[in-house]
Amino acid sequence: MSAPDAALEDLVYWLKRHNQSISEVDPFRFEDLIAQFLKERFGPTQVRKVGGRKDMGIDMLVAQAGDDPLFVQVKRRSKLNRCESVATVRTMNGVLLRERSPYGMVITTSKSFSPDAIREAYAVRKNYVDGPFSRHNIELVDLPGVLAMLGESELDRAAYRNHESYVDFENWRKTMSLTLHPRFRRLR
């Protein structure tokens, strides 16, 4: 399911049924998936992928009209049972200071963030109650959060409709009359 040309709907459909396979998804395809989740979460926004191998700590930028941009770093880890390190959150703090933006988000497939990473996410805001850093906020999204996004996503509706177990309840009578043996059609 990590093929770059696989439809996001199919990927979501697969991952909803095979959560642990998330570690096998191509990291760049996983970023596409997260970008779609963020569009669903924030409504009318512009989500622009800016990442790459040397992305300087930014994988995507979420822009909402009239608000400061949200800088997002996405980490698709191959080992889900580990904690995301403090280094990733420190990098995001550095990005926010460099870009003069108060909002950041780190999304990972690690089971959780280390205690140091959690402290680091809130250190800047705690140290600056007033002034330019008082709005500083880094949202941390770990594997349970990613799986919650996956569960809430409406992205797999098209793939589900194409699946053999899908029943179109609005047109089920028409469908059934075509598939039933002629002997049973008259019983309706």
Are residues 75 and 106 in contact, defined by beta-carbon separation less than 8 angstroms? Answer: yes
Res 134: pLDDT: 67
Three-state DSSP class for 81? Answer: coil
Q: Return d(Cα 110, Cα 160) in angstroms, integer.
A: 28
Spans of all domains in the chain? 3-180
Three-state DSSP class for 173? Answer: helix
Q: Return d(Cα 175, Cα 86) in angstroms, integer.
A: 55
Res 182: pLDDT: 43
Q: Which residues contact 183 (CB under 8 A, 6 or more apart)?
A: none
Q: Return d(Cα 117, Cα 16) in angstroms, integer.
A: 28
- The CA radius of gyration of the chain, in Å to the nearest whole number, is 21
Q: Return d(Cα 128, Cα 55) in angstroms, integer.
A: 28
Q: Which residues contact 94 (CB under 8 A, 6 or more apart)?
A: 57
Res 90: pLDDT: 94
Tell me the C-alpha to C-alpha distance, in Å, between residue 172 and each of 162, 167, 169, 178, 180.
15, 7, 5, 10, 12
**Sequential pLDDT tens for the chain (188 residues):** 444 446 888 888 888 888 889 999 999 899 999 999 998 888 878 898 887 777 777 999 998 777 888 999 999 999 999 999 999 999 999 998 888 888 999 999 999 999 999 999 888 767 665 666 667 889 999 999 999 998 888 776 554 444 444 434 444 344 443 444 444 344 44
Say how far residue 164 (Cα) sits from the centre of its chain.
Answer: 27
CATH 3.40.1350.10 fits 3-180, yes or no: yes
- Answer yes or no: pTM beyond 0.85: no
